[in-house]
Structure 1
Amino acid sequence: MIPFARLLVRRIALLIALLATVFVVVDLLPGNTARAVLGRDATPDRIVAKERELGLDRPLPERFWDWIAGVLTGDFGHTARGRSINELLADKFPPTLLLGGLALTLAVVASLLLGIWWAARQQVAPSATVIRQGAVRLLQPATTIAAAIPEFVVATLLILVFALAAGWLPAVTITDRSGFPASPDMLVLPVLALAIPQIGWNTRVVRAAMVDAAQAPHVESAVLDGISTRTVLLRHVLPFALPTIVASFATTVGMVLGGSLVVETIFNYPGLGAVLAGSVADRDVSVVASVVALSGAVIMCVLAVADGIRAWSLRGRG
């Protein structure tokens, strides 16, 4: 319990340091928050009055302290345009969570299936079919390419092929009254754009972890005892590979959340991506920091779950 508590405190400290860095970076950006809110025609007197109203005339450390104190009580404050940040996040975070959750689920399921299948056929038998041999050999370059291509490039290619050329799926997202996409097919391309790079990376991780775990002596004994390949993989190999796999999936959560902000902008998806883009344009540091804080809190929760799964999988080992 003590090591876990120390790890939690360390992660919280890192998150606070990251939020402080966000405050500094946004404050150093060219432009003026008050002018961005009031428009180019605002007089100097109005700009000064707006800066005083927003507290921009105070030192940056004091503004950060006031904001972080409010966050600890559940109050993220207000945007430079006067809207409650709590309401803004409550309105825009669920669509982002839906998009990221679907992409993460697809990435986990696909990479597990592909990685385990790849590891089981590490050595392709000469008697294997041509199709099976080709599929195994194709995974090496395919996963490398998928993992190397950024989400925005994948999104652009998907739009070109499936939206513009084939016309099968919409290239932009239209929302209904609930604030979510009006039809399920509008989620397909954004989800794929987020999931494909993570499938490529995690498939390689799963395969490597399974191959390493298969070298354990108890696995060889299970094979010599005549236990079926499926049973050996699921009961004797996968549990030993689980800590590495879970750690990779936990890292994927942060990658998906970060990538979703870019993908949402490309597909005009109604999530935190548009909020973040608008807040950066307004130099609204409170909104930017709030998005980072919320994303960081989600990632910390996932890491805590991953730590629990890892501890469970390592129980009883010396």
Structure 2
Amino acid sequence: MLTGSGAPALRAVARAVVRAAGVLAGTAVVVFAATATLPADAIAVRAGGRVDPAELDGLRAAAGLDRPLPERFLRWAGGLLTGDPGRSLVTGREVAEVVAERAGTTTALVLASLAVAAPVAAVLAHRRGAAPAAIGSAVPPVVTAIGLATLLAGVLHWVPPVSLLPVGASAWTRPDLLVLPVLALALPTGAYAAGQLRGAVEDVAARPFVHDAVLRGVPRHVVALRYVGPFVAAPALRVLAVTAGGLIAGSTIVETLFGIAGLGELLVGAVATRDVPVVSAVALLAAAVVVAGTLLADVVAALVARR
């Protein structure tokens, strides 16, 4: 049995795990309900009015769309727990296979965007005045994308105007094709993250031990990393988790604009064809990234509090 200073930290971690599991379960319910209530369905979209009602009912029954919503949810949730998110209603392929085929490209895009957004957020969060972060986060990604494409591709001719990565191709083989989409995602994301972290950074910077370090002549970067960094690690991880999930969702715009065959482009196509299993899988994946990152942040916060 754990006693002493380790027990509160362990209890905090256990509560964080339970809370994360509950949030993920609730998210699964919301995602399924939202996708299941889309107007029309995949069978009707595919038929396009060319199939008589009796045959349409038969196709719906074959796809399991005639069953009550709670029963469909339980079957879907049971499949998720066993690692089987079902089959696409449009192509008939395994959803896991379809998502895995696109996940590599979006993962590369998100990781590269986070690598650029993190230093942007760190710089803006430590700047005096909130105007740069507020202005940067207020600009929609589509406006940023168009502006960057006009400048870097249209005027300076530094990068291609579109990416056109084929399905399944590795994005790392053509890093020049990632420049525009990465910047279009990273700059607004970095500004948003800076706005979220600014309050925590200012609170820690106002503490006596930070003032003491500054008066002793400790370099600013050492103060930021050694004295401020540990205390903003937990909120920074929470912001990182939210922005990572937001980048997966926000990639729909960027991937469509620049012709990238990733999860965002897959989600847009799945919504258009009412392919509910694919829509649910992509949406739940983005939510799982946020929940996992937030759980990690809660664990870090518990360990920092113990110190």
In 2, distance between residues paired with 1:176 and 1:33?
25
Task: Using the aligned pairs only, state the percent identity.
Answer: 35
Secondary structure of the residue that 1:260 maps to in structure 2? helix
Q: Is 1:108 matched up with 2:99?
A: no
> How many Å apart are 1:20 and its aligned residue?
2.3
Q: How does 1:112-123 map to 2 (within 5 A)?
A: 112-116=122-126, 118=127, 122=128
More off after superposition, 140-149 vs 52-61: 140-149
In 1, distance between residues paired with 2:30 and 2:68?
15
- Of the three residues 167, 172, 177, the one matched with 2:162 is 172
> How many Å apart are 1:140 and its aligned residue?
4.3
> How many Å apart are 1:229 and its aligned residue?
3.9
Look up the match of 1:134. none
Aligned length in residues: 296
More off after superposition, 85-94 vs 281-290: 281-290
In 2, distance between residues paired with 1:247 and 1:27?
30
Contact 1:37 1:80 in 2 (8 A): no
Contact 2:121 2:194 in 1 (8 A): yes
Contact 2:16 2:298 in 1 (8 A): no
Relative to structure 1, is the Cα distance of residues 227 and 157 closer, same or farther in structure 2, using a 3 angstrom cutoff? closer
Contact 1:152 1:263 in 2 (8 A): yes
Look up the match of 1:141. 131
Look up the match of 1:8. 17
> How many Å apart are 1:243 and its aligned residue?
3.1
Secondary structure of the residue that 1:314 maps to in structure 2? helix
In 1, distance between residues paired with 2:289 and 2:223?
35
> How many Å apart are 1:62 and its aligned residue?
0.5
Secondary structure of the residue that 1:80 maps to in structure 2? coil
- Of the three residues 208, 216, 219, the one matched with 1:217 is 208
Please, what TM-score do these two structures have when normalized by structure 1?
0.84
Look up the match of 1:239. 230
Q: Match of 1:102, as an amino acid?
A: A
Deviation digits for residues 89-114 of structure 1 (CA, Å, limit 9, x no counterpart): 11011111111111011111232244
In 2, distance between residues paired with 1:94 and 1:306?
25
Relative to structure 1, is the Cα distance of residues 177 and 147 closer, same or farther in structure 2, using a 3 angstrom cutoff? closer
Look up the match of 1:249. 240
Q: Match of 2:56, as an amino acid?
A: I
Relative to structure 1, is the Cα distance of residues 32 and 114 closer, same or farther in structure 2, using a 3 angstrom cutoff? closer
Contact 2:167 2:261 in 1 (8 A): no
Q: Is 1:304 matched up with 2:295?
A: yes
Which structure would you say has the larger RCO, counting Cα contacts within 8 Å and 6 or more residues apart? 2
Secondary structure of the residue that 2:13 maps to in structure 1? helix
Q: Is 1:258 matched up with 2:249?
A: yes
- Of the three residues 143, 147, 153, the one matched with 1:153 is 143
Secondary structure of the residue that 2:255 maps to in structure 1? helix
- RMSD over equivalenced CA pairs, Å: 2.3
Please, what TM-score do these two structures have when normalized by structure 2?
0.86
